[in-house]
Chains A and B, each alone.
Chain A
Amino acid sequence: MKKNKARSLLEKYAAGQCTPEEIAIVESWYIQQKHDEVNDLMEKERLADMQEVRNLLISETKPEQKPVRRLWPRIAAAASILLFLSVGIYYLLHESPQQLAAQNQKNDITPGSNKAILTLANGKQISLTDVKNGNIAQQGAINIKKTANGQVVYNANTTSSLDKVVQVTYNTITTPRGGQYHLTLADGTNVWLNAASSIKYPVPFNGKERRVEVTGEAYFEVVHNAAMPFNVTVNGQIIEDIGTHFNINAYNDEPATKTTLLEGAVKVSKGKVSAILKPGQQSVVMNKGDNSFVNVSNNVNTDLVMAWKNGKFSFYNSDIQTVMRQLGRWYDVDVEYEGKIPSTIFSGEIYRNVNLSKALEILRFTNINFRVEGRKIVVTP
């Protein structure tokens, strides 16, 4: 009587009379059960049911006439906010596009944009902002091209006889303050540079390893090649890729150099000490003072780390100086503090494509005051 066994077990379970073993069986079956996806409800039907049951519940749960006042402190106690509003939503709620356009025409400082300078081995500098799309330079067997979306691509001419003759030369791409850039190296590795950053790399990659040097902040998506590991030298550290996506923040005016791993694995070495990072981990090496340690943080908020690449400033418990250093690089402005530096701590996001005035306006909501003098922001108490 096969069916009875199953049914009696279900009845027992529903009545709360199963042993732990039986519970494990029934619930394991439950989570392994596959369902047909056919004949699913339409969104419209589901929303209609949602409304119907909602109405029933609302009439059932009508509050007894309680004084509203008593509720507020508890709501307050439980409600949460994020400090800044995403600017997009802010606009949506408060401003029409016309108003926006009008504001942009004022003497405002515009946000950073895609710009960089390519320095060839012979010292020749090419502004990647101004140069036309298409071939921009040829170095030995390597062809350098700027694509329609503004990206720089190195194409290796793969005639092997040529490869051997090619002299290894170094190129550097530098972003100014207020610039960012995306390039693809000859091995297919993608690199995104944040403002005031640089990458120096050999053309072509040759020999036992691919070694590049960075300053500032860069995000790498490395094409793995076990025969030719990818190494990044930064602030006296070596980041050795074991096939992977990672971000390096190495600005000299930041307190520490941080390497954050998103995918794969990397080894971070500083002198004799080293650490292997797993995804979600971040290595931290102080830029000043005792910098002989490679500290590793777990469960880093990678959205926060990658915000710059995704077009945002994102802060969590950051002080005003941290916030202003980021704004300074992106808007190419200097920051000064008059009097006592505000002790406000910031959490939240601002889009990077807004004008400086807008970004400052958002900070003003938190009772921080500023004066803008040309390309200088003075933070006032």
Chain B
Amino acid sequence: MIMVTYSSCSDNELADLLKSGDQAAFTEIYDRYFWLLHAHAYKWMRDRDDTKDIIHELFSNLWAKRETLILEDKLAPYLYASVRNRIFNQLAREKYSVQYSDSLEDFIDHGECVTDHLIRERILMEIIEAGIAEMPRKMREVFEMSRKQQLSHKEIAEQLNISEDTVRKHIQHGLKILRPKLGLLLIAWALIHH
């Protein structure tokens, strides 16, 4: 009766699944965030290969550390800080430091600091998520939808007035059928006849 796809999972749920070693959840996180992270990194690097390396390493690392990472409700901030740190690693290299040091030098002398790290985190998020506007339409819809998903599986059970076990069965069913068939293209929710 009810079908669910990974693309309908919230970030928190994906983070939980990732911790348990779910590769599909990992791929979903990749599909959801690749565009924004890549677009942001490319703005700094202007080099396709270096940008690809940054993204590749970032996600390899996410998978390698999946069991020990404490993401809680901070998957997006974690990814955004990771991409920034990896960009910094590149900027420390001669190739980029030449390009950016005038600007940083000038900032050290005349710039205005944002001292609160939470505000910096928030601004970074806004900068990276400004890339949503450029995302291909379907990808953007899925991304935006994922931000609106709030219901946990217990809440679903309560709302539907059925047991958690029944929800679980439906979800299994949905995941098995839908995932390979529609994947990303399916927007968040779907119902089928019993």
Q: A and B, one complex? A: yes
* Chain A residues with a Cβ under 8 A of chain B: 2-3, 5-7, 9-11, 13-14, 23-33, 35, 39-41, 43, 45-47, 49-50, 52-54, 56-58, 60-63, 66, 71-86, 89-90, 93-94, 317, 342-348, 362, 365-367
Q: When A7-B97, A41-B42, A75-B175 are in contact, do A14 and B120 touch as well, CB less than 8 Å? A: no
Are B16's CB and A78's CB within 8 A? yes
- In the complex where A73-B168, A79-B4, A344-B160 touch, is A28 in contact with B124 (Cβ < 8 A)? no
Contacting pair B167 A76 (CB below 8 A): yes
A89 B92 Cβ-Cβ under 8 A = no
A33 contacts across to B, CB distance below 8 A: 44, 100, 103
Judge whether B133 is part of the interface by a CB distance below 8 angstroms.
no
Partner of A39, one of B44, B46, B84, B123: B46
Docked pose: A30 CA to B103 CA in angstroms: 10
Whether the pair B153, A58 counts as a contact (CB closer than 8 A) is no
Known: A25-B108, A49-B51. A344 touches B159 (CB 8 A): yes
Contact B9 A78 (CB under 8 A): yes
Q: Which of B56, B91, B168, B175 contacts A10 (CB 8 A)?
A: B91
Q: Which residues of A contact B158 (CB under 8 A)?
A: 345
Contacting pair A31 B124 (CB below 8 A): yes
Which residues of B (179-194) have their CB < 8 Å from a CB of A?
187-193
Interface of A is mostly: helix
Task: Determine the chain B residues whose CB is within 8 A of the CB of A14 once the complex forms.
Answer: 85, 88-89, 91-92
* Most-contacted residue by chain B among A10, A35, A343, A348 (CB, 10 A): A10
| Chain B residues whose CB sits within 8 angstroms of the CB of A345 once the complex forms | 158-159, 161
Chain B nearest CB from A18 CB (Å) reads 10
Say yes or no: A10 contacts B92, CB within 8 Å.
Answer: yes
CA A74 to CA B189, docked complex, whole Å: 19
* A-side contacts of B6, CB under 8 Å: 79
**Is the beta-carbon distance between B51 and A347 smaller than 8 angstroms?**
no
Residue with the greatest number of chain B CB neighbours at <10 A, chosen from A3, A11, A29, A362: A29
Smallest CB separation, A58 vs chain B (Å): 7
How many Å from the CB of A231 to the closest CB on chain B? 35
Quote the shortest CB–CB distance from B65 to chain A (angstroms): 12
- Beta-carbon contact of A76 and B159 below 8 Å: no
B17 touches which of A13, A47, A58, A78 (Cβ 8 Å) = A78
Q: B34–A53 contact, CB under 8 A?
A: yes
Assembly CA distance A3 to B98 (angstroms): 8
Q: Are A25 and B159 in contact (CB under 8 A)?
A: no
B23: chain A residues within 8 A (beta carbon): 58, 61-63
